[in-house]
């Protein structure tokens, strides 16, 4: 009835917050990790925008895990997280020489959310 300029919150898309969504994000995480290692090994900077994409990917992982815990039908999400040993991957990324403060901060935030 009344129009508003406020953005209405949309329900999360089920595709993103699903086991398939986590699989895609995990694939993105592995790609970003490999690109960052390769860039560091060759002495060239990582591709433009890759750091931001990596940070967003790490943030998305925590969102998917939280969604999976809150929705019983998505209980396989955390199992997949553990099966792929993503916590160890995040830890390796945290200690990597190419990892900067922004990436490390996002990893710490993600791990803190998972611990809660």
| CA neighbor of 23 nearest in space, from 88, 74, 72 | 74
Categorize the per-residue pLDDT at 15 as very low, low, confident or very high, splitting at 50, 70 and 90: confident
For the residues of 51-69, what is the DSSP string, one character each?
A: HHHHHHHHHHHHHHHHHHH
Predicted TM-score (pTM) of the model is 0.80
Task: Note whether 91 and 108 are within 8 A (CB).
Answer: no
82: exposed, middle or buried (Cβ count in 10 Å: 0-12, 13-18, 19+):
exposed
Residues 36-46: tens digit of each pLDDT: 888 888 888 77
Asked whether the predicted pLDDT for residue 83 surpasses 80, the reply is: yes
Categorize the per-residue pLDDT at 114 as very low, low, confident or very high, splitting at 50, 70 and 90: confident
d(C-alpha 78, C-alpha 80), whole Å: 5
């Amino acid at each position: 009835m009344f129009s508003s300029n406020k953005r209405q919150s949309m329900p999360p898309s089920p595709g993103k917050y699903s086991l398939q969504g986590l699989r895609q994000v995990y694939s993105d995480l592995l790609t970003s990790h490999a690109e960052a290692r390769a860039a560091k090994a060759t002495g060239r900077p990582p591709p433009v925008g890759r750091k931001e994409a990596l940070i967003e990917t790490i943030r998305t992982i925590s969102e998917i895990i939280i969604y999976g815990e809150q929705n019983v039908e998505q209980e396989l999400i955390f199992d997949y997280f553990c099966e792929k040993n993503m916590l160890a991957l995040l830890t390796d990324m945290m200690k990597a020489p190419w990892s900067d403060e922004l990436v490390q901060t996002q990893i710490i935030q993600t791990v803190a959310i998972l611990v809660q």
